[in-house]
Structure 1
Amino acid sequence: MSVNRIALGKRISFYRLKFSMTQEKLADLTNCSREYIAYLENGVKTPSLPILVDLANALHISVDALLVDSLDYSLSSSDSDLHRLLLDCNETEQEIIIRTARELKATLVSFGI
Structure 2
Amino acid sequence: MILDYEAIGARIKDVRSMLNMSQERLAELAGLSTTHTSHIETGNTKVSLPSLVKIANALGVSLDELVCDSIIKAKAVFEGELARTISDCDELEIRVISDMAKMLKTSMRGRLKINR
Fold-level similarity (TM above 0.5): yes
Give the structure 1 partner of residue 50 of structure 2: 50
Q: Give 1:76 shift.
A: 3.3
Structure 1: unaligned runs, 5 residues or longer: 87-93, 109-113
Q: Give 1:98 shift.
A: 4.7
Based on CA coordinates, which of the two structures has the bigger radius of gyration? Answer: 2
Q: Distance in 2 between matches of 1:44 and 1:56?
A: 19
Greater share of helix = 2
Aligned to 2:67, what secondary structure does the other structure show? helix
What's the TM-score once normalised by structure 1's chain length? 0.71
Give the structure 2 partner of residue 104 of structure 1: 91
What's the TM-score once normalised by structure 2's chain length? 0.69
Which runs of structure 2 are paired with 1:4-83 in the superposition (5 Å)? 4-77=4-77, 79-80=78-79, 83=81
Fraction of identical pairs, as percent: 32
Aligned to 1:65, what secondary structure does the other structure show? helix
Q: How many residues are treated as equivalent by the alignment?
A: 93
Per-residue CA deviation, residues 8-61 of structure 1 (Å, 9 max, x unaligned), is: 011000000011100000000111111111101111112111111111111111
Aligned to 1:99, what secondary structure does the other structure show? coil
Superposition RMSD on alpha carbons, in Å?
A: 2.6
